[in-house]
A and B are shown apart, each in its own frame.
Chain A
Amino acid sequence: MALVELQNVSKQFTKGEQTITPLDHIDLHIAEGEFVSLMGPSGSGKSTLLNLVSGIDRPDSGSIVVNGTDISQLSRGKLADWRAKNLGYIFQTHNLIPVLTAYENIELPTLLLKQTAQERQRRVQLAMEAVGLSDRADHYPRQLSGGQEQRVGIARAIVTHPKIVVADEPTGSLDVNTSQQIQVLLQRLNQQLGITMLMVTHDTEVASIASRQLRLDQGKFVDERSSTSTFCEGGQSDA
């Protein structure tokens, strides 16, 4: 059974008199432990899809089931609880809180879980080790490089041991070298820790680290390929 199941999902926005359809009756299945990348031109619906899977937006029609829960039916409060337990989110611009240290930023999502202080501390330390930032625990975001900030962002996303981690262009604001380090890190987290990932990117090279690459255009999947195959136009293929 797939961890993420989108069935016949549509989403529309109204801008003045114009109606935009970023997602048009799409289906998507992501298996547990899978690493899926989403590519496509601006306005193709990538971010909308990411927001729907994250439970920060709702579809106009269709269902989104993640780990057996239809999140499209959850109330705002229940969705917040669901996100705290099941979702890790890696932002393009890190979105770290400048007044909190790296440790405190990573600890923030764990405060929402019913855990002892010792368990929280253990998880934060493990997450920091996983991203190679154990020696930067007491540093504030302004004292970190862009790459280190993104590592803190990644540690914050995985610290709660979420069912799925979504990443919105995680290397979009980094230089080439740092971007490569982050790619390696994401791949390692997926392969070694078995974290299920859904990543939006504009960069073909970044997309290639995923085990399955999807391309969206005008609200529909137009290409899909696995890491061992090439893009095939106009349809989906099994990874």
Chain B
Amino acid sequence: MLLPWEYGVRNLARRPIHSGLTLFALTTVTLLIFVVVGFIRGLERSLAVSGDPNVMLVYSLTSEENIENSSISAQIPDLLAASLSATVKHFGITHHSPELYLGSRVTTADQSPGLGLVRGVTPTAPLVRRTVRMTEGTWPQPGEVMVGRLAATKLGVPTEVLKIGNQIEMEGQAWQISGTFAAEGASFESEIWCDLSDLQTATKRQDLSLVAMLLKDRTASSEVDLFCMERKDLELRAVRESEYYQTLQQHYRPVRILGWLIVGLVATAGIFAGLNLMYGALAGRIRELAMLQVLGYKRVAILVSVVQEGLVLASAASLIAGTFAVCWINGLTVRFTMGAFALRIDSLAILSGCAVGLLLGILGALPPALKALHASVAINLKAV
């Protein structure tokens, strides 16, 4: 037979400051878990949604996996269009996107310099980059740029600095912001897009970084591969966009492992904090626990009641931290080398945070309860 629920709950009000501190500690630890898991999930999602399996990237063989270092001839898009039947064509328009992609120093209206990711594109880009949607303003004309939803985060400036009509400076010339776009969380959201030829003029380059092609179906990639292998003189390589981002995911694997390691360390620290607080809470109740045993309550019933106390606190902490995370942490943007992404408090993050929170309650309460119940009842009845 278990002890009444009220006993466990009301015990928390017995030492309000102590319970308050425990709640604060548990909430802080659980919130940290939410932030770290949200970071990992946001990074994973950003890279996962960036890759379209129907899109093939063709870029320089010598650039390894870094497209920013790629340089291919400006004639390659036309050559590909003429040679391949695998690319989608509608109304005579080939769905391919010649792009110049580079990292550039960008100075914003508030004179803050930052390293931005700039992509010179043609009007066919949205036909291939199908997640991209204009959210405000117009497509950039010469001397204009449009900025992604997270471009401000990538540059480390407030969002207002990149509002439509403001100017930025890059590659030695001023550009006016004509529009903004979103891309369902893909990495494009942290980029600045402008007209391809405009960017080529500004950078005094005539080459391209890559050609992105929308294939008719996934099997059509072999035709592109074959073309790249046959035309060794062009020194091209082709990779499916989803595979490219999967490779990048591998690059960020240490970051993800580190994230989970932090989750483990924070949780361990939380358990020790919980242990310390619960030892303190139970130290003054040893005689009471012995008295309950004298009345006929079994040790397991008392153990459950003590764990119940820890669980009530942990549940409250998880609820507070979860609410805070969903309302204020979810969607917070973070900069990283490849751009920026939003912290993502999704179902897995909520599950992880709450599970760790509840685990803190159980593991924090068990050892002190076991210790208090281990000694003989007769001895514990004399405890001060």
By a beta-carbon cutoff of 8 Å, the part of chain A in contact with chain B is 47-48, 51, 54, 56-57, 76-77, 80-85, 87, 89, 91, 93, 95, 97-100, 104, 108-109, 111-112, 156
Contact = CB atoms under 8 A, between A and B. Distances in A.
Interface in B1-37: 1, 3-4, 6-7, 10-11, 13-14
B295 A89 contact: yes
B294 interface: yes
A89 B377 CA distance: 13
Contact of B293 (A80, A85, A98): A80
A80 B7 contact: no
Contacts of A100: 6-7, 10
A54 B294 contact: yes
A66 to B, nearest CB: 14
Contacts of B293: 56, 80
Contact of A99 (B7, B295, B377, B381): B7
A87 B297 CA distance: 12
B378 A57 contact: yes
A208 to B, nearest CB: 26
Contacts of A95: 287-288, 291
Contacts of B218: none
7 contacts: A47-B378, A57-B377, A91-B291, A97-B288, A99-B14, A111-B1, A156-B295
B295 A83 contact: yes
A80 B296 contact: yes
Contact of A84 (B287, B295, B378): B295
Interface in B290-310: 291-299
B10 A80 contact: no
Contact of A80 (B4, B6, B297): B297
Contacts of A81: 296
A85 B296 contact: yes
A57 B298 contact: no
Contact of A112 (B11, B14, B296, B376): B296
Q: Which of B10, B291, B293 has the most CB of A within 10 A?
A: B291
Interface residues of B, number: 24
Interface of A is mostly: helix
A239 B16 CA distance: 53
B1 A98 contact: no
A77 B293 CA distance: 10
Contacts of B297: 80, 84, 112
A47 B378 CA distance: 9
B239 to A, nearest CB: 66
B11 A99 contact: yes
A109 B293 CA distance: 10
B35 to A, nearest CB: 35
Nearest to B291: A95
B377 A97 contact: no
A76 B20 CA distance: 36
Nearest to A82: B296
A72 B197 CA distance: 96
Contacts of A112: 1, 295-297
A97 B298 contact: no
A79 to B, nearest CB: 9
Contacts of A47: 378
Contact of A89 (B4, B6, B10, B294): B294
Nearest to A77: B298
